[in-house]
Amino acid sequence: MAVDLSTKAPRAISGALRTASRKADRRPWSERELIVLSWLAPFLFALVWEALCRFGGVNPQVMPAPSAVLATAWTLVTDGSLFVHLGYSLLRAATGFVIGGGIGFGLGLLVGFSRLAEALLDRSIQMIRAIPFLALLPLVIVWFGVDEAGKIFLVSLGVMFPIYINTVLGIRQVDPKLLEVAKVTGLSLRGRITKIILPGAMPSILTGVRYALAVAWLALVIAETIATTKGIGFLAMDAREFLQTNVIVLTIVIYAAIGVIADGIARALERRLLAWHPNFVKGGRR
């Protein structure tokens, strides 16, 4: 039986065009809707967690319900102890981030611009980066004792490497054609650095900042196991001694909340500093 392609082909094309048109006419997601969707999974997870604890699916001594964790948080807030511990942890993390981030950025600029500096410094930096935090603890205690300096040192060390690596990577990935155009147009070295190289490297640098924020808290958790009496890490360690799982879970939730807030600040910084970049403008990268 013969098939009349002359009539079926136009119909198929017409149907495909109508489908594409319907997809194109769909209203794009608004910023508020995307924010609501991003919180949907954590909210559903909390509901399932609460239901399992309430109906006997989970032993509350092993994993307390979200309502019990909130009650514990309220108790610590009302007696003021939570803010004291949180304040110490935030101060250590911020100080270490500024020191480590500044060193990492400076070394990244030096190595990114100079092959000689790369030959002299990069291998040693990569060797230090490969050392686990826990392996450094005994040496840090010998160097700094159990005071604040040792904790800040560990945070600074952890923060330094992501910013260093991404700064070098960002500088090396700048399009050589742009640099060639800058030379032809007579742009000075300072102008090439401030108007082409650093703006071109900024997406990679800010990615390093976001990663460094997460590493800062990881290093802080380890640092706050060193004979301390203040901080979120101490709160978790003390709760472990008395089998207070609700406090332990609360500290985990606090770390997660701080991570989300810090990442939100980093994303806002991206949108501000990279407003010129097509992947970071509103409607682009989130």
CA 197 to CA 160: how far, in whole Å?
Answer: 21
| Residue 191 resides in a domain | yes
Residue 59: the pLDDT is: 73
| Residue 37 resides in a domain | no
Type of residue numbered 112: G
Residue 113: the pLDDT is: 86
Per the prediction, the chain carries an average pLDDT of 81
Residue 26: the pLDDT is: 59
Tell me the angle at which helices 66-78 and 31-54 cross, rounded to the nearest 10 degrees: 100
**For position 176, which CATH number holds?**
1.10.3720.10
| Residue 69 resides in a domain | yes
For 222-278, how does the pLDDT look when each residue is reduced to its tens digit (9 = 90+)? Answer: 888 777 788 888 888 888 877 788 888 898 889 888 888 888 888 888 788 777 766
Query: What pTM value is reported for the model?
Result: 0.76
- Is-contact 208 166, C-beta < 8 A? yes
| Residue 110 resides in a domain | yes
Contact partners, residue 158, CB within 8 Å, separation at least 6? 96, 100, 133, 212, 215, 216, 218, 219
Which tokens go with 153?
């040192």
1-5, 128-132, 175-179: segment of lowest average pLDDT: 1-5
| Residue 163 resides in a domain | yes
Q: How many domains are there within the chain?
A: 1
- Residue 170 domain boundaries: 64-273
In the predicted model, what is the mean pLDDT of residues 4-22? Answer: 52
| Residue 20 resides in a domain | no
At 65, phi and psi to the nearest 5? -70, 155
What is the Cβ-side half-sphere exposure of residue 218, based on CA atoms within 13 angstroms? 11
Torsion angle in degrees (nearest 10) through CA of 168, 205, 109, 169: 10
